[in-house]
Amino acid sequence: MFFPFPSSNRRSSQDGAALILALLVVVVVTLLANSLAGDFLVTFRRVENQLLSQQAHAYLRGSEGLARSALQADYRQSPGWDHRSEGWLDNRQEFPLEQGVISGTVCDLQGRFNLNSLIGAAVSGDGRREYSPAQAMFIRLLQTLESTLEQPVSQLQAEQITNAIADWIDSDDKVTANGGAESGHYSGLDMPYRVANKPLLSVSELRWIKGIEAPLLQALTPHVAVLPEGSSININSATVNIIQSINEPGNLQPISQQEAQSIVVQRDGEIDTSSAGSINGSGPQGFAEVADFVALHPGEGLDIDALGVSSDYFLLDSAIVFMERQFRLYSVHYRDPDNGRVRTIARAPSGLGECVVP
């Protein structure tokens, strides 16, 4: 019996198919390996970032403890009085770590204008609407931002913005004349939203309000805060712009920058910001009482009900560079004026304001 041997052509075709199959298996395995390696690297980086973020956040929370200790120590030394000459306000402190550095600045939020004080307005005997003292002060404040804006805010624009903020935080849906805005305005925008009709929760919320563009918000942020209604302004830590915005009733124009700067110099003396805010020589170290400020002010009949020389609300701006990564945390601290106890009432990575170091 004769059995024919397979031809060489048939054997070579089988060998070629096996080679192609083997190459295909290698390609599939290689792709799977690369995919698994990429997924593993992404997962590894994600876990690494989470661990570093948690560790950095722990350091940042630790900085809050240092801030609370400083605030409590300040209360024990000088209860009822706060000023930059004490050496811990508006000065950035740095502390080295094994794998980075952490820094923090404590600033006085009551040296700024409280936006939540804009709610409501006084009404005269003949029924005409008048601005409240807080609203008049904010109208003046907006007009002091000319050095940081390409287009200064006029008195008319300032009144319109003030009315729009008042409408945003009041509880009704009644539009205030001269620039006010309620639900009808915001619901008619290309991207509609509803008016809050409640007090502001953060300074960044201003960006939603009619008439406030990004440049204006950036210029305004160092001079405003979001605090409970009724919080006083500490004239010992108020900025030059805030001092300018304090003027006699019925006058919606700020005092001049030169007049305000003169008051600040007589209040602060010469502050050396390179040495923890220490005072050079024996110059002034803040106003002991509001009457001392009134005596220096060029205006007459000032409304001093909203002014004070002490503070209860403070902002901690803390940052850390850790393992070549940067993290930041802002926290608002309330110090009880009766016993000096400090507690954190707000915490966020942004939106609570900025600490500007002179």
DSSP type of residue 282: T
Going by pLDDT thresholds of 50, 70 and 90, the confidence category of residue 139 is: very high
Q: Chain-wide mean pLDDT for the chain?
A: 85
Lowest mean pLDDT among 104-113, 116-125, 344-353: 116-125
Greatest mean pLDDT among 11-25, 98-112, 123-137, 279-293 lies in: 98-112
pLDDT confidence bin for 279, thresholds 50/70/90? very low
For residues 356 and 349, give the distance between their C-alpha atoms in angstroms, rounded to a whole number.
Answer: 16
pLDDT higher than 90, residue 323: no
Report CA-CA distances (Å) from 181 to 156, 196, 208, 225.
Answer: 15, 11, 11, 22
pLDDT at position 1 over 80: no
Query: Sorting pLDDT into bands at 50, 70 and 90, what band is 162?
Result: very high
Strand extents, DSSP E, the chain: 93-97, 100-108, 113-114, 224-225, 233-234, 271-272, 278-279, 307-308, 313-322, 325-335, 342-348
Assess whether pLDDT exceeds 80 at residue 42. Answer: no
pLDDT of 258 over the 90 cut: yes
Write out the two tokens for 320. 């850390």
Using the predicted structure, report yes or no on whether residue 358 has a pLDDT greater than 80. Answer: no
Instruction: Answer with the residue of higher pLDDT: 89 or 169.
Output: 169
Say what the pLDDT of residue 50 is.
80
pLDDT at 3: 52
Compute the distance between CA of residue 223 and CA of residue 144 in angstroms, rounded to an integer. Answer: 11
Euclidean distance between CA atoms 105 and 177, whole angstroms:
41
- Among the ranges 4-13, 44-53, 173-182, which has the highest mean pLDDT value? 173-182
Is residue 97 helix, strand or coil?
strand
CB 267 within 8 A of CB 287: yes
* pLDDT for the residue numbered 167: 94
For 120-132, what is each residue's pLDDT tens digit? 765 544 555 689 9
pLDDT value at residue 84: 78
Q: Output DSSP code: residue 129.
A: B
Pick the CATH number of 57-348 from 3.30.70.270, 2.60.40.10, 1.10.40.60, 3.40.50.2300: 1.10.40.60
With pLDDT > 90 as the criterion, what percentage of the chain qualifies? 55
Most confident of the following: 50-59, 146-155, 217-226: 217-226
